[in-house]
Every structure is written in structure tokens, then in C-alpha cells.
Structure 1
Amino acid sequence: MPKKIPAEELNAILALVGNHHPNPVQVRTIRDGLADELPPRMLQRRLALLVDQRRLTAEGRGKGRRYRLPPNHFVMQARPGQFEISGQAVGLEIYPPVSPEALAIKEAVRAPIQHRQPVSYQRAFLERYRPNQTFYLTEETRQRLVEMGRPPDAERPAGTYARRIYNRLLIDLSWNSSRLEGNTYSLLETERLLELGEAAEGKDALEAQMILNHKAAIELLVEQADEIGFNHYTILNLHGLLADNLLADPLAGGRLRTIGVGIAGTLYYPLDVPQLIEECFRQVLDTAAAIADPFEQAFFALVHLAYLQPFEDVNKRVSRLAANIPLIRQNLCPLSFVDVPERAYIDGVLGVYEMNRIELLRDVFIWAYQRSCARYSAVRQSLGEPDRFRLRYRALIAEMVAKVVRDRLDKKAATALIRQGAAEQLPAEDQGRFVEVAETELMSLHEGNIARYRLRPAEYQVWRQGWH
């Protein structure tokens, strides 16, 4: 049986090739650039394996053969425990409009890696920030964003806006956040996975897991909108959900890291000392929680959770979903990163990592929020005004529907359960209407809307057979 090639050797090759992207790399350059020397035949076997896995593409033959990253990645993970910065390299680059300061950052982080200076975590960058005194976003920008993002019914309970556009938000945010990590699922494939539980053929199972993890994390934010915040419970559980079944150490999900890590494609080195990581994590949360403006709060979280890298992996995903906490809580339009170019986002993050400069990521954030607002404004208009009765009893309706399905009740038993629940938990004047609404929900249940009740396709199929 052939000996298994260590993953760190493959990742080292990928990182080296990624540092030369988009230029193809000769075998000699790869061999000379590796920290550990490999005999020619061993290196060729590793290159052939990476080509077979479609993690590298090969061009030419013989001595002229060269290797480059496939078009959907420009940097791959370098070794176990390191983070991955992925993005799309295209011939004609799509980039949001940015300020001259942001453009300077873009040019700096795109310089060859050997021309950039190694940097470590700078705690002063965090400590310089004073909540409600320091602002990354100008007052004019914050006012403009709130005007774009505030719906006419903003005074309703926390999470009302997000619940109203929930199905669209779930797909958009899951897909876009995963796409920014190099996930190759299409939007339609993501929709089928989330609504029908059907994984796309020919795709890595890890990609499906990543998207499903986003779904679980978004459900937490929306369903517990009045409880979430910048606290240990919310952020640790966000990470636990987003990292589920994706980490080498299954115990690392939802826990601050105790090991050192590196980040491929950058010369930024995060903190290594667990005590300092915990101290800074606590300081990031305390600072974020003290910020009054929801957009300043969202952007601060996007910047500092990614910069600290408090977890073994999945940090940027946590920062993107955490940025939605104040928006969901205050019934503002969520941020789903719709249309955000992967390279623009990564350039912005690298500006924070290597320079402690936020201008490029700030411009991407503002542009992304404008796109999200335009999208969900159209979605809200297409939905019409929500039924206030359904909003008031949304949780109880969902509970009843889920119980009917999971207990495999037929129509007679379902009606009895709903009437009993209404009699026990609702005022007399609302009981009749509640039974009508709950029964209508059951009659309207199909594979495309079972996610709102946290039902699995298998549970639905078994129940449906008995229901009919």
C-alpha cells in the first residue's frame, strides 16, 4: 500500500505556487523554494497528486512544464493549523469604487510577498480604539447607512426584518460568505442544498458542510435576535456552528485556540500566547458591546475578530456573521456580502493584517451594504406587509408545526394538538385564528420551506406519507 503523502508537504507546495500567482511556476523554482528539500521523484509525485486533485493546473511538457493555482483560488492553505485566504482570479477584475487611501492599500498588499514586511499582532491597534469616541465610519457615512438600511417598520421586535426576508437571507449570506472562502457551489446549488438537502454532484463534501454550517449559524442569529450580542455565548457558539465537522480537532469548535497559527499569503503573524489571545478576545467583545452606533459596531467586529484570529480556523466567517448582530438586533437591513468580489474583500483584510489600515475594507463594507439594501428592499416589496398575528405567534406556530411532523401525526391528531396548545397558551380571542393559521401552515408545508421549522428532509418525507 503506497505511503500517504503528508498534508503539510502538499500545502507547502500550494503556498509557494500561490505566492507567484498568477504567474506559472517551474519545478525548479518550487524545489528551491521549499523549506524541506525533496528528491525530484518525490516532488513530481506530489505535483502529480495535486494536479489530479485539481488543486494545481499544469501547463507544458518536459522541462518546460509549469504549475499554477486553478482559476478559482489564488492562495491555498499552507499547513495544518494555518488559515486560508481564498479568492477568484479573473482576467477582467471587478472591483468596487474605492478612495485614494484605499487604493494605496490595495497596491501595497498586492506587492510580491518578498517585498512586504513581516508583522505581528499589534495590540495597540485595538487599544487605540475608544467606543463612541473613535470612529472608523464618519458621521455622514453612518447616517447614510441608517437611512438606507432602516425599514418603515423598524420599531418592531428585534429580528423582525431578518425573519421577514429569512429565506432569501439564508441563501444569500450562506452562499456569499462561503464563496469568499473559495467555496465553489453556485447560488442555485446552494439553494437546493439548503431547501432540499441535496448536495451538488462532484463537489467536495466539505463545501456542503461549510454552507450547512452557515445555515445553522444564521438561524442562531435570527431566532435568538433578542438574546445575541457581543458576548462569549454568541461569538463562541457562532464559531462552534460555523466550524462544525470542519476542524482537525473536533474539540476546537467554539473554543479559543491554544496553538500558534500562520496565515498563507501574508506576512502577518497572529498572537501565539493563549492568555493574551483570551485577554484580547475579551477586550474586543467589551469594546464592541460598548459601541452605540450599529454600523460602527458591525464594522469594528468585522475588522477586529478577523485580525485577532482567536480560533484555530473559521475566523473570517465568524467576523462576517458577527457583523450582522447589531443589524439584526436593531431591525436594519442585514449584510449578506452580495456581489462582493473575493479579491477586493481579501485585499481589505490584508490591509488590516499587515498595515492596521481599515480604509479599503471600510470602502468594501460600505459598498457591500448598499448592495444588500438594494436587494432586500426589492425582496420586502415583493412580500407585501407581514401578518402581525403571525409575527406575534411565530415561535408557537413553528413549534406546533415541527411537533406535528416529528411525531408523524395525521390530520385528526394534528388538529387536536393545535387546539390543545392554543387553549393552554393563548387568550380566548386569539385561539380560533391561531388554529386556522397553524393548519394553513401545515397544508402549505413542502420541501422548499421546511427549513424555517428546522425540519430535516427525511422527517418531512416520512410525515408526508402518513399525512396523505
Structure 2
Amino acid sequence: MAPKIAPLTDHAKPADLLRSIQNAPAGLTLAQLLERHPSVARRTAQRWLGQWAADGSIVAQGAARARHYRAAAMQGVPGLGPHPRSGPDGFPAAIPLSADSLDVLAYVDQPLQARKPVGYQRDFLQAYQPNLTWYLPAPLRRQLHQMGQTADAHAPAGTYSRAILNRLLIDLSWASSQLEGNTYSRLDTRALIEHGQVAAGKAGIETQMILNHKSAIELLVENAGTARLDRYTLMNLHAALAENLLPNPADEGRLRQHVVEIGQSVFRPLSVPQQLDEALNELLDKAGQISDPFEQSFFMLVHVPYLQPFADINKRTSRLAANLPLFRANLCPLTFVDVPEQAYSRAILGVYELTRVELLRDVFVWAYERSTQEYLAIKQDLAEPDPTRLAYRGLIKQTIHAVVTHLGGDALALIAQAVAAHVPETERPAVHALIVEELRRLHEGVLARYGLRPSEFAAWQAGKG
């Protein structure tokens, strides 16, 4: 028989109990505390616990006999959550988690059999009233705006995202893909995006995933001035992300027509196509009414994965859609760089199984702060966009597309004809030279920019040789 745990002292002091809680990362129940400190009366321990919870020394989670007491993190700015602390597995110590988030985490970290199966809760979306309901409290929104403000705040929509596009393509494609288990490194991603160089030893699905992110990001940035969080944008965004990755290509950019299951979760999404269609319309209608770009961004991160409108690639679609409000407002992007997959997936589980957003909100805020640290630091090193390239970007893309798809044609003659038809005489030499230079640098990694497919590019190259 195992020996009983001896009391720390014959007459334990409050500090002894508090120290036991602080030394137990998973927390302790009242029964476990009393087992460790049998000399303390239950009523006395309850009084001490109540005092510590009231003054913020500890946090209480759960109810009745399952109630656990954990050491509380140091509190930060009122309303904005705690400062960094020693975090649970999968969460960097730098990610501040509120007591509510720890409560969500304690639930989703239970074994599957201990969590209650749950279906899609319609009132979660229906109860949300744009500009009246707030997932992000006002102090937090103010903090996010201060973090993400750029010098382009009053410029036309999308100005900032276009200025940082080259860096954004690498960071967001790499980080979002990593959250899906992609093993491309940041350097591999850069080589693929900038030079069309496929990393050795990587599966084709990983390469395709990176290139699809690139195409989807370009789609958003190029249309930031006009795109809205509507059905057209979401469907085409999904189609770009899903290209060549789904078992049935007909599912690209279309609502799913079958049941889906969520791995490692007891959540069961909607399965009736008509209900999916109605819920998506309501989701997008509410998203479009939200006035604050950060609330709008976070709303998409919450509700697109929760609805699971597509056969797959829902979370990727939500992460990119969440950036559109930031692009439009010329705020720093949300790249998800350094966000651990375990932290993100558990936060999403909290939405799926509890319809609670606190844990995802804490990850969102931390992730955004990381993004702004990267982008505000590099902005001063960015060169101003070439005004000629900016003014004639549409013509440049159309002309290159025409040259590549017009097999056997005289490339220089086609370029000269397009320039003569659309460019004032004084600017024709500069535009002509730009198009020739773009054509010379054309490679597999930039084909989507010009609306070209790999097969068209390969045929054109073969024709030149």
C-alpha cells in the first residue's frame, strides 16, 4: 500500500496552500488541497481560496467537485488580459491567456470521450448583432488599431498591402501553410515564390499549397479597393486556395454537398446543403455590416471554420478572408508567423465545441502583435512603387497573358501594338521596356499574377525553343 502524503506542517499556513497551487500547473481541486494539507479545516481552506480568487492571486475553473484552482497570471492593462506567464503545452509563455481562455483550454484538453458531442448551434451566429455585439471589446480594438496603424492610413484602400506584397506573399503563405502541417521552411517558401524553385524532398501537395496561398493573396491585394466579404469573394478565395488539392475538383469554390467530420473533435457541422447556404448568406450579411476592421477580421476567423461551408480548406479560407478588412483599411496584415499549430487548433476547438471565442481571441491578439512587429520594422526599408508600373499594371498583365497564349506570335510586335493602343506616346518607351522585362523574368511562381496556367507557360517555352 502506498504511504499517505504527509502534511507540509502540523499547522499549515495560508502561504503553504498558495504555494501548492502555484506549483501545480494543471491546478488543484479543494479535495486535492486538503489531502496535501490535512491539518487545514475545509471551511478555512474555502475562505482562503475565496480571498485569493477575489484579489486575483488565483483563478477558479469548473464547478462543484470538479472546480480547480490555478495560479493567476499577472494582470496587464484593464480589459486587455494578463501579461505573459508560464503557458500550457503548445502555448509559448509569451501568449497571455485570460482566466476564461484557460477554462476553454482545460475543456478541450480533455480526452475525446470526456467531451460532449455537439452539433452546429444556429443561435451562435443569429445572436450576433453587427456593431452591437463585440467579440473584441473597445479597449482591445483601440489597442489593435494603435498596433497596426501605418503611414498609409488615409491612402486608397490596399495601398499598404501592395507596398509590402513581396514580403507578405512569403510570410502569410508560409505561416498559414505551416498551420496545416506544411514542412516548407521560410527560405524554401521564398525560393518557390520568388524564383519558382521547388524544395527538394517535399511532397507535391506542399508545393501546391504554398502556390495556392500566393495566388489567393494576390487576388485579395489586387482587388482590395473593390472586394467585399461577400459570396463572390469567399468562393473565389476558396477556389484559389483549393486548386488541385481536393479529391473532387468540382468542390473548388463551391458549397459542400456532403457531411464533413472534424478530426480530434466531437463537433458535428451542419450537413444539409440548404441550411449551409442560408447560414453562409447570414454570415456574410453580418460580416459586411461590421464597421471595425479588426472585429470584422476576427468574426471571419470565428464563423467560417465554425460553419465549414466547404468540403475542406475552411480554416485557410478564413485566415486569408480575415486579412481583407485589414488590407482595405491599410493596416498591418495578420500573417500568423510564429503561431504554434497546437495553440491555434485548440483555440478553434473552443469555438467548435463550446462556441466560445476567448482562447482564439487571445491567440489572435498575440499573433497580430507579432505581425506588426515584423511589418512596422520593415516598412521604412521599402522602396516606393514604380509609378509607371503602378499606372499600367493592368495593361502589363494583359499583354503578357496575350504574348504567352498567342503561340507562334511575334512577342515584340504584340507588345508594341498593345502599348501603341493604350499608352500616350511620351510614355511608350518606358512601358514597352517594363513589359519586356516582366516577360523576361516570367517563371512558374508568378503565373497566377498574369492569369496563366502552368500548361500554357510550358507550351510557350517549348515554342520559343
TM category, shorter: 0.7 to 0.9
Q: Which runs of 5+ in 1 are unaligned?
A: 1-88
C-alpha deviation, 1:282, in angstroms: 0.7
Contact 1:261-1:272 within 8 A present in 2 as well: yes
Q: Separation in 1 of the partners of 2:166 and 2:295?
A: 27
Q: Secondary structure at the match of 2:147?
A: helix
Q: 1:68 is matched with which residue?
A: none
Residues 20-419 of structure 1: pairs in structure 2 closer than 5 A: 96-404=95-403, 416-419=413-416
Q: Secondary structure at the match of 1:284?
A: helix
Quickly say closer, same or farther: Cα 1:194–1:130, change in 2 above 3 A: same
- Deviation at 1:126? 0.5
Structure 2: distance between partners of 1:356 and 1:438: 51
> Shift in Å at residue 283 of structure 1?
0.5
Which AA in structure 1 matches 2:276?
Answer: I
Separation (CA, whole Å) in 2 of partners of 1:459 and 1:90: 48
Code of the aligned partner of 1:179: Q
Aligned length in residues: 378
What SS is found at the alignment partner of 2:287?
helix
Q: Structure 1's 450 and 201: CA in aligned 2 closer, same or farther, altered over 3 A? A: same
Residues 414, 244 of structure 1: CA spacing in aligned structure 2 closer, same or farther, 3 A cutoff? closer
Shift of residue 96, structure 1, vs aligned partner: 1.7
Which letter maps to 2:306? Y
Task: Note the alpha carbon deviations across 1:345-383, whole angstroms, 9 max, x for none.
Answer: 111101111111111111111111121122222332222
Is the 8 Å Cα contact of residues 338 and 368 (structure 1) preserved in structure 2? Answer: yes
| Structure of larger gyration radius | 2
TM-score (norm 1): 0.72
Letter in 1 for 2:177: S
Please tell me the residue identity of whatever aligns with 2:361. R
What is the rounded CA distance, in whole Å, between the counterparts of 1:167 and 1:257 in structure 2? 33
1:439 Cα deviation from its structure 2 partner: 4.9
TM-score, structure 2 as length reference: 0.72
What 5-or-longer segments of structure 2 have no aligned partner?
1-87
Moved more, 236-245 or 419-428: 419-428
2:419 partner letter:
A
SS of the aligned residue for 1:261 comes to coil
- Please give the alpha-carbon distance, in whole angstroms, between the structure 2 residues aligned to 1:246 and 1:408: 29
Q: Secondary structure at the match of 1:310?
A: coil
Residue-by-residue CA offset, 1:47-67 (whole Å, 9 max, x unaligned): xxxxxxxxxxxxxxxxxxxxx
3-state SS of the aligned residue for 1:371? helix
Name the SS of the counterpart of 2:155 in structure 1: coil
Quote how far apart the aligned CAs of 1:93 are: 5.4
- Relative to structure 1, the CA distance from residue 460 to residue 283 in structure 2 (aligned partners, 3 Å threshold; closer, same or farther) is closer
**How far off is 1:444 after superposition?**
6.5
Aligned partners of 2:91 and 2:343 also within 8 Å: no
**1:233 Cα shift?**
1.1
Quote the residue 1:426 is aligned against: 423
Percent identity reads 53
Letter in 2 for 1:362: R
In structure 2, what residue type is equivalent to 1:253? E
User: Could you tell me how far apart the structure 1 residues matched to 2:437 and 2:414 are?
Assistant: 14
Tell me which amino acid in the other structure corresponds to 1:140: P
Deviation of the 1:231 alpha carbon: 1.5
TM superposition shift of 1:304: 0.3
- Alpha-carbon distance change, 216 to 437 in structure 1, aligned in 2, over 3 angstroms: closer
CA deviation string 1:267-295 (max 9, x = no partner): 11111222211111110010101111111
Q: Which amino acid aligns with 1:111?
A: Q
Render the CA deviation track for 1:318-371: whole Å, top value 9, x for unaligned. Answer: 111111121222322221111111111111101111111111111111111121
1:415 is displaced (CA, Å) by 5.5
Other-structure match for 2:64: none
TM-fit CA distance, 1:313: 1.3
Higher RCO (CA < 8 A, seq sep 6+): 1
- How many angstroms does 1:406 deviate by? 5.6
Q: Indicate if the aligned counterparts of 2:215 and 2:449 stay in contact, CA closer than 8 A.
A: no
CA contact (8 A) 1:94 1:341 kept: no
Post-superposition offset of 1:465: 10
On the 8 A contact 1:259/1:272 being kept in 2, the answer is yes
Contact persistence 2:224–2:327 (CA under 8 A): yes
| Structure 1 residues 213 and 465: CA distance shift in structure 2, 3 A | closer
Q: Tell me the secondary structure at the aligned position of residue 228 of structure 2.
A: coil
Shift of 1:248: 2.4
- 2:300·2:321 contact (CA, 8 Å) conserved in 1? yes
Q: 1:241 to 1:284 in 2, by over 3 A?
A: same
Deviates more, 1:431-440 or 1:294-303: 431-440
User: Are residues 400 and 251 of structure 1, via their aligned partners in 2, closer, same or farther at CA, if it must alter by over 3 Å?
Assistant: closer
Post-superposition Cα deviations, 1:30-52, rounded to whole Å, max 9, x if no partner, equal xxxxxxxxxxxxxxxxxxxxxxx
Superposed CA RMSD in Å reads 3.1
CA distance in 2, matches of 1:444, 1:118: 54
Give the distance between the partners of 1:92 and 1:125, measured in 2 at CA: 27
Question: What is the DSSP-based 3-state SS (H/G/I as helix, E as strand, rest coil) of the residue aligned with 2:153?
Answer: coil
